[in-house]
Amino acid sequence: MATSENYKRWLESPKVSAKDKEVLKAMSQVEIDDAFFKDVEFGTAGMRGILGPGTNRLNEFTVKKATVGFAKYLLEKYPDAKTSGVVISHDNRHMSREFTLLTAKILSEFGIKAYIFDSLRPTPELSFAVRYMKAIGGVMITASHNPKEHNGYKVYDETGCQLVPDKIARLVDIIGELPNELEVEYTPVAKPAEVITLSKEVDDEYVRLVESIVLNNDLNKKGFKIVFTPNHGTSYVNAMRVYKDLGYEVYPVLSQCDPDPDFSGTLSPNPEDPRSYIEPIKLAKEIGAQLVVMTDPDGDRCGLAYLSSKGEYKTLTGNQSAAMLMDYIFHVRQERGLLHKDGVMYNTVVTSSLGEEVASYYGVKTEQFLTGFKFIGNRIDYYEKHGGGHFFEFGYEESYGCLIAPFARDKDGLQAITMYSEMALYYHLQGKTLDMVWEDLGKRFGYHEDQVYSIAFAGSAGDQQMKDLMTKLRTNPFIELDGNKVIKVDDYQLSLSKAKDICKKIDLPKSNVIKLYFEDGTTIAVRPSGTEAKVKFYIGVKANSLKEAEAKPKLLYEKFKALLGI
């Protein structure tokens, strides 16, 4: 249906509130185009979009349609769906609680028992709760680290893992067979199922398991100060509880601790955005803290800043922090005989090559997947059920998410801040700051620098621009950049890896990602985001010095854009 027809349908529908119709009437043509040119859809992290009226928006109608589809999917797939139930959680955003209660009500009226929390909880605890309650699915209402105008809807299977493509395909088909979002109806069962508020037992067990992952809790914590912020999100209560139990001296950024949907105390809730560190670093300077840790609003990602050897506060990328943490954990486990002989580390095709080098140093294998932690969670479950000689040691993505112990099946910000704090303290007691640790890694494995850049696109014209960009690159991938030739191309949409005259099949689900490998070891991966209207460029280099490595990605990005005509 055309944009104008969708817009008219909403404007004339008696189901759309007078308030929303006023919003619709005030829209510019550009806003109408963006709100109605397509249906909001599931990407790498579920359904995510701007809040408000429209087919390409998150609202009660699009959430209702998704939930009706999910209910039908569960009843079709699981004989015990009604009795096993679904766990639902939410973050701090506008409409999150309302969408949670709406989801619970619809599932209940399909006869499916629903479990909800008494208030907001982090994504990894939702993943854990699905497993703990032996439910057959989960729903997390969150837009993760996106701006305040957004919200989202993520679905989980019985393992506590987000639905992977071969599972979500049927759900997408079912949703596609439903009437449009304004016309979706269903007949409630005669006796709706219970909607049960979960007890504190779930929180207690989740926190206990997080605390059980520590390796060196007897380290002297006196004088080691940590600043923590949950970015107005879901992690405050659990994080402060863990820090108190483990005996750390922690100073929360009080202006960012309330679950404020407008994020009024921060310029950004995203650990990838330098603005998110302004207030935490300000507090760190006041009290002389050695470490700053933060989680994003739904508590699955973790960002770090630290007091450097030069007395300045510096931040770390997700690739840097994960490589250092992996090296620390594997080193301690190896010393204590705790590394499994068939250990495996999981990451993604857009993460730094440094992670694999660190893992290999400790005799740990690496498996790579497409972007999306669901692929890692799904693989953990696969080996647990089918064997195959793989034992999970660590999993991470470049986007500030990692998992240390798989009692949750999504990246876990609480596990991350717990172990990053221990790692930083461990090195602090040796007289090392984290820039010194990073320098040591460079001396051992070469100086790696990986940066992510992105270009935003809006509306139907922007959507077409993204498609044209990928088509152009796919048509002529064997390019030369700064005198450096591409020697291999991995095209995950075509499932082909090409090097000269050699062509190999890529045994991963299809995804619109192209990765270029250059003669000097540089890699550039290009991927349209699955959750936002933007294209991401992942540039990884390896150099002989830290200075050379740090300067190279930005230079290559600018030249790459020029080559593509952007």
Which DSSP string corresponds to 200-227? HHHHHHHHHHHHTT-S-TTS--TT-EEE
Q: How far apart are CA 49 and CA 56, in angstroms?
A: 7
Among 245, 249, 232, residue whose Cα is nearest residue 288: 249
Where do the H-state alpha helices sit in 144-257?
165-177, 200-211, 236-246
Return the closest-CA partner of residue 115 out of 98, 134, 91: 134
Inter-residue contact 273 to 247 (CB < 8 Å):
no
Q: Show Cβ contacts of residue 331 under 8 Å, excluding neighbours closer than 6 positions.
A: 362
CA distances, 44 to each of 2, 34, 280, 372, 414 (Å)? 26, 20, 30, 6, 22
Asked whether 120 and 404 are in contact (CB, 8 A), the reply is no
Strand extents, DSSP E, 297-425: 302-307, 313-315, 343-348, 365-369, 391-397, 401-403
Is residue 144 among the annotated active site residues? yes
CA distance 504 to 492: 11
Strand partners, 60: none
From the list 84, 108, 127, 144, the catalytic residue is: 144
Parallel, antiparallel or unpaired: strands 523-528 and 480-481? unpaired
Residue matched to tokens 């949703």: 175
> Which runs of E-coded beta strand occur in 101-220?
114-116, 137-141, 150-156, 195-197
Known catalytic residues are 144
